[in-house]
Structure 1
Amino acid sequence: MDKVMVRGQLRRLRDERVPSRDRAADAEAIALSALQAAHEAGVGPGDWVAAYESMATEPPTQALVAAFLARGIRVMVPVTKPDWDLDWREVGTESPLGLEAIGRASVVFVPAHGVDARGTRIGQGKGCYDRALPRTAATLVAVVHPWEVVLDRDLPREPHDRPVDAVIAAGTGLRRLPAG
């Protein structure tokens, strides 16, 4: 199956399943797993992580962001540019940090519709993160719903797709992947 078909299937599952999720419980579980990932990467007060502000059907990231801020960890979030590249801004400000700011992050939490056991990530399809991720050597952690961790088959991967190092899903926690 190609990415368009897989993405469509995963979007339909979100539309069906997300309304019955306990978003508050999911948010707390995701935040705890994100703190674990950051701790394992050696992130401490004053260090940077990159996250994103989740949309209604995405796994909730508000508690993740709040947990880092409460610990003095700086959080940058993306600002999508007209050409689909990503600029960044620090949470709580509107000032752009620049395209290269992602290089400051020790861990980058990325949105995904699905992640397989090899670390292949299916995103929204606009290539925003495909443009941004080459600018960082950070640990990459996809944030998904539990059913979006696809272990029974390989997702389609193109040469420009950078595998993620780990995946977080509420209910399953942090899972390290043999990216490659």
Structure 2
Amino acid sequence: MPSAKQILRAERRARRRQIALARDLAADGEAMAQHLEPLLDELGIGAGDAVTAYEPIPGEPDIRPVCRVLAARGARVLVPITLASYDLDWADLADPGRTPLGLDAHAPCRLLLVPGLSVDHTGARIGQAGGCYDRSLPLADRRSPRVVILHPEEILVEPMPTDPWDQRVDGVLSAAGLAWLDTSR
């Protein structure tokens, strides 16, 4: 019998397909880049700093404009390489060969932009399954904000089911803006 989390994940995947068809993903990506700029200014992210991001799969919010803004500031953008073990190695987005940098290469990152399917007001995030980010986020500096990238319709009012190993996020970035969640950092 599927768990509550598995059922929710299946529902959120189906809903994401509907959302992605109804949205202008390119315009949303540009809006997210604009909404992120004040946080980048506040954190002083620029040359020499590193930030995690990811390469979007179909249906996900288009984070490429965000990555362009980061690169224009001189920040190094690290993207995950999912290993067979579901651990995440990291590579520099500017490296076309995606040379692996190590499981803890993201440890010094000043901002962690992560994918997800949904988030609730407590920062509980549901991803694609496998626990990749739940294993990887503890290796990063806890002072660095963790922000999930979502479509505006993917922020849930009701609390999500969680497991003890689930890593919470601090905020959510969508085309509607950047919102901080009720987390106890």
Instruction: Please name the residue that 1:73 is paired with.
Output: 75
Q: 1:158 aligns with which of 163, 178, 183?
A: 163
Instruction: Please name the residue that 1:58 is paired with.
Output: 60
1:14-163 matches, within 5 Å, as 14-93=16-95, 94-137=98-141, 138-151=144-157, 153-163=158-168
> In structure 1, the residue corresponding to 2:106 is in which secondary structure?
helix
Stretches (4+) displaced over 6 A: none
Worse-matched range after superposition: 116-125 or 12-21: 12-21
Residue 173 (structure 2) pairs with residue 168 (structure 1): yes
TM-score, with normalisation over the residues of structure 1? 0.94
Q: How many residues align?
A: 178
CA-atom RMSD, angstroms?
A: 1.3
Extract unaligned runs of 5+ from structure 2.
Answer: none
8 Å Cα contact 1:48/1:75 also seen in 2: yes
Instruction: Please name the residue that 1:7 is paired with.
Output: 9
8 Å Cα contact 2:19/2:151 also seen in 1: no
Extract unaligned runs of 5+ from structure 1.
Answer: none
Counterpart CA distance in 2 for 1:118 and 1:143 is: 15
Residue 174 (structure 2) pairs with residue 177 (structure 1): no
> In structure 2, the residue corresponding to 1:28 is in which secondary structure?
helix
Equivalent residue letter for 2:183: A
8 Å Cα contact 1:50/1:75 also seen in 2: yes
Equivalent residue letter for 2:145: T
Equivalent residue letter for 2:161: P
- Residue 2 of structure 1: how far off its partner (Å): 1.4
> In structure 1, the residue corresponding to 2:74 is in which secondary structure?
coil
Counterpart CA distance in 2 for 1:49 and 1:133 is: 13
8 Å Cα contact 1:119/1:164 also seen in 2: yes
